[in-house]
Structures are given as C-alpha cells and as structure tokens.
Amino acid sequence: MAKFGKSIIFILVLLLITAIITNTAIGSTNISPLITAKILLARYFFIEPTWTSSQEIIITNIRLPRVLLGGLVGAALSTAGCAMQGLLKNPMADPYIIGMSSGAALGASLAFMLLLPVQILAFIMAIITIFIVYNISVIGGKVPVDTLLLAGIAVGSFLAAITSLIIFLAQSPHQIIFWLMGGLWTANWDKVKITAILVTIGIIMLYRYSWKLNVMLLGEEEAQYLGVNVEHVKQYVLVFSALITAAAVSVSGIIGFVGLIIPHIMRILVGPDHRILFPASTLMGAIFLILTDTFARTIMDSVELPVGVVTAMFGAPFFIYLLRKRRDNLYA
C-alpha cells in the first residue's frame, strides 16, 4: 500500500470523526459541538456534566443513532458499489444493479400493506432477489457478467411492476412512496446495532478479497491464468455485497447515488487498488451520507426531506462536473 494511500485513509478517518461530532451537534435545538463531544465522551469516561439532561437525551437517544445509522448506511452502499464496479467492470454498477433495490422495495411494500415488520421483510426480499438473479445466471457452473446484469434488470423490472401494483391498490400509498425515496427518520439504537453487525462483517469479508479483485480488473481470463478462482471470487463478493446492501436498504429505504458516485470519486483520488480504494470508499460513503442527512433534516424548519432526494440533488451535479472535468474516460 502506497504511503500516499495510507495518509488519505488517515485523513478520512479524522474527517469521519469530525463529521460524527459536528453533525450530532446540528439540529433544531442548538447544542455546541464542544458540549456534544463532552456528552459523547461522558458515555465512556467520567466528565462533570455542564449540560442539561434534555440535551443529553437529544444527543444520545435521537441524534447520535441517526448520525451513526447514516454513517453505516453510507459506508455499506459505497463499499458495495465499489465491489460491484470492480467485479462487473462496469462503470454503471452500483449496489442495486442486479435488482436488490427492487426486491427490498417489494418487501417493504408488502410489509406496509400487511402490517408486518418493514425492516425484516425488506431484508429478506433483497436477499431472495439476489439469490434468484444469481441462479438464473448460472450457466454450466459459471456466471457470465453480462447474463448477471441482464437477469438483474429483468428480475428487477418484474418486481418493480408488482411494487407499482401494490402502490396503486394501497389505501395509503404515501408510506410506501416515502420509504422508496430513502430516509433515516426511523433511526434508533436497535437498528444501529443490527446494521453495525451486518455491515461490519460484510465489509471486512469484502476487504479480504481486495487483492483478488485487483487481479480480476485485468479481465476474467487473465485473472484465471494468474491463478484466481474467478467464479469463487464472484460468488463471494456478490454474497457479501448483497448482505451489506440489504442491511442498509432495510433500515433506510432506497438511497440512490451514494453507491455509484462515491467509489468513482475515490477511484479518481486514490486509484484502482482495492486495498486503498475499499477503505477510502467506505469512509467517504459514511461521511457523505452523514452530511447529506443533516442537510435533509435541517434545511426546512417544519419538515424533513428524504435523504435519498438530497443525495441525488447534490451528487448528480457534482458527478457531472467531474465527468466534464476529466476529458478522458472516467472509468479508466
């Protein structure tokens, strides 16, 4: 790993910590970042309280879980997007590309209709979707990338049609529609804990395949000549990308763009070596979603915007700027 890469990771870690503290401080009730930091530290060390108990409740029970959940979801989506782009060698790849978002959306819609737990159904449907898409794509023990992408689009469209039907027939469709826009307003400590466990496991497992993914960027056949068991890597990377994406989507709805642009931006900054690109994407994804979510919940006095709307509204123009600035192929 290059020295340059290590220092970028170090800077991103510092930025993430700063983002967590400052964004926990920001909200309708103003609490200074210093007091916020003290309240946070007081969870682990003894600090003489200089704050009110209502301040403490706002910070620890409302804002902190929200910021942490945002960070986890952003990290998961960005890491999964990075893995999918590397694995499929397709610049359009994001965590949702093989139909997972459609599966999760259908699960959530069903849950709203039947009054079942949304998080669980969305998670299960997302996993079932990737299982179906994968099995459709297997030809003679191999999974050709093109088939995988097309099967993902086909299955995704089918599931999206069912979701549309449910929305059309639903008594109160706005619940489903809000969920589809993506938001973190239901954040609580239980969600943070479950997501933290799943996302951490998935991300660590993906990191273990950084080197193999690098070699696979040379092309599947070349990688095979260099001794990579290509189909094994595909399976493994798909499973753990699916796991963290499903974990993220099930608590936050469908937040677009994070998983697409953050890995691209980091690839421009740190290069294609996944041993640096992965952690850089993870950290930047977390920072980006924490910032956009704070914007989403504070920009209007009376109402919170869905963060999915904000990520695309900010992300897309910035991404277009990068596309135009780099005259050569962005993915190269």
Partner 1 sequence: MLKIKDLNVSYGQTQVLQEIGLSATEGEFIGIIGPNGSGKTTLLKAITKVLKPTSGTIVIDGTNIEKMGSNEIAKNVAVVSQVVSINFEFTVKDIVLMGRNPYIKSSESVEDINIANDVMEKTNINFLKDRMITQLSGGELQRVIIARALTQTPKILLLDEPTSHLDITNQIEILNLVKKSSTKGMVVIAVMHDLNLAAYYCDKICLLRDGCMISIGTPKQVLTPTNIEVAFNLPIEVMNNDRTNSIYVMPILEPLNEISD
Q: By the criterion CB under 8 A, which residues form the site for partner 1?
A: 1, 208, 210-211, 214-215, 217-218, 221-222, 224-229, 271-273, 275, 329, 331-332
Nearer to partner 1, 131 or 211 (CB): 211
CB of 316 closer than 8 Å to CB of 265:
no
Q: Is the Cβ of residue 167 or residue 228 nearer to partner 1 in the bound state? A: 228
The residue among 170 and 275 lying less far from partner 1, judged by its C-beta, is 275
Give least dist CB 1 to partner 1, A: 8
CB of 287 to partner 1, least distance (A): 24
Minimum CB separation of residue 267 from partner 1 in Å reads 8
The residue (of 53 and 329) whose beta carbon lies closer to partner 1 is 329
Complex with partner 1: residue 73 or 228, whichever CB lies closer = 228
Residue 130 burial class via C-beta count within 10 angstroms: exposed 0-12, middle 13-18, buried 19 and up: buried
If the CB atoms of residues 27 and 271 are measured against partner 1, the closer one turns out to be 271
**Comparison of 140 and 300: residue with beta carbon closer to partner 1:** 140
Query: Residues with Cβ < 8 Å from 228, sequence gap 6 or more?
Result: 212, 215, 216
Name the one residue in this structure whose structure tokens are 């697409």.
Answer: 260
Rounded to a whole number of angstroms, the minimum distance from the CB of residue 317 to partner 1 is: 25
Q: CB count, 10 Å around CB of 107? A: 28
Shortest distance, CB of residue 210 to partner 1, whole angstroms?
A: 8
What's the closest the beta carbon of residue 205 comes to partner 1, in angstroms?
Answer: 12
Are 14 and 287 in contact by the 8 Å Cβ rule? The answer is no
Min CB(243)–partner 1 separation in Å: 20
